[in-house]
Structure 1
Amino acid sequence: MKNFGFVILTLALAGCSTGLAQGQNAAADAPSIEAGRHLAEINCATCHAIGAEGESRHPMAPPFRTLSRDYPVTALEEAFAEGILVGHPDMPEFRLAPAQIDDLLSYIESVQERRGG
């Protein structure tokens, strides 16, 4: 009987560690606001104000914090995947991988103006 109890305990602990590993993988796959901020700094900050305040350097480049005024930020997903060709006339074309798109959209969502209050 002692072996049976040991087997049950071992299986229970194995299940816990599997759940923990799956939770860690899910966290690793979750969009990263910090990674998105880094992408924005590299690809966007020369023209756009990418933070929660400040003015854009390019007069036709809207600050990131105001993007949700005109449309849902998630609407940018397809444009980032296919290569943005719209925007201000001298906006460079760039394409992002799916995980990078998720990161950048998470960052952009994080700096949106909060209405009401």
Structure 2
Amino acid sequence: MRAGKFKVVAAVLASATPLLLHPGSASALEPQAQRGLTFVQTNCAGCHAIGRTGDSPFPEAPPFRTLHERYPVESLAEALAEGITTGHPSMPEFSLDPGKIDDVIAYLKTLER
């Protein structure tokens, strides 16, 4: 590959990397928020829209970007620790350890911006 083509490919990859880290955003996340994003991608994205755009795959599941419009996301910490039993009707019950809770809250806070 010629040097000029390599530079173009490298520039495209470098500009796309932050988008891979944070759906719908051009900025990279802090480590705690990145861990939260990884958790919600694995455990929540099947039903909820977890990025700055898009519809939730399960229509009754609110997009995470709207949660802060309903209540302060910090108020979710207790529910995440004790086990969320409400939410949408098909939402599974689960509880998180304090570190995971902080990660998820950190990620949700990035959606407020």
1:79 aligns with 2:79: yes
The separation in 1 between residues aligned to 2:67 and 2:48, in whole angstroms, is 11
The separation in 1 between residues aligned to 2:43 and 2:93, in whole angstroms, is 10
- Cα distance per residue 1:13-35 (max 9 Å; x no partner): xxxxxxxxxxxxxxxxx970000
The separation in 2 between residues aligned to 1:44 and 1:62, in whole angstroms, is 11
Q: How does 1:76-115 map to 2 (within 5 A)?
A: 76-112=76-112, 114=113
Q: How does 1:1-117 map to 2 (within 5 A)?
A: 32-112=32-112, 114=113
Larger Rg: 1
**RCO greater where, 1 or 2, for CA within 8 Å and sep 6 or more?**
1
Unaligned runs of 5+ in 1: 1-29
The separation in 1 between residues aligned to 2:94 and 2:39, in whole angstroms, is 11
Shift of 1:74: 0.5
The separation in 2 between residues aligned to 1:43 and 1:80, in whole angstroms, is 13
The separation in 2 between residues aligned to 1:105 and 1:53, in whole angstroms, is 18
Matching residue's letter, 1:54: G
Shift of 1:43: 1.3
TM-score in terms of structure 2 length: 0.70
Summarize the Cα distance change of 1:31–1:76 in structure 2 as closer, same or farther, 3 Å threshold: farther
Unaligned runs of 5+ in 2: 1-29
The separation in 2 between residues aligned to 1:79 and 1:70, in whole angstroms, is 15
How many aligned positions are there? 84
TM-score in terms of structure 1 length: 0.68
Q: RMSD in angstroms over aligned alpha carbons?
A: 1.5
Aligned to 2:12: none
SS at 1:32's partner residue? helix
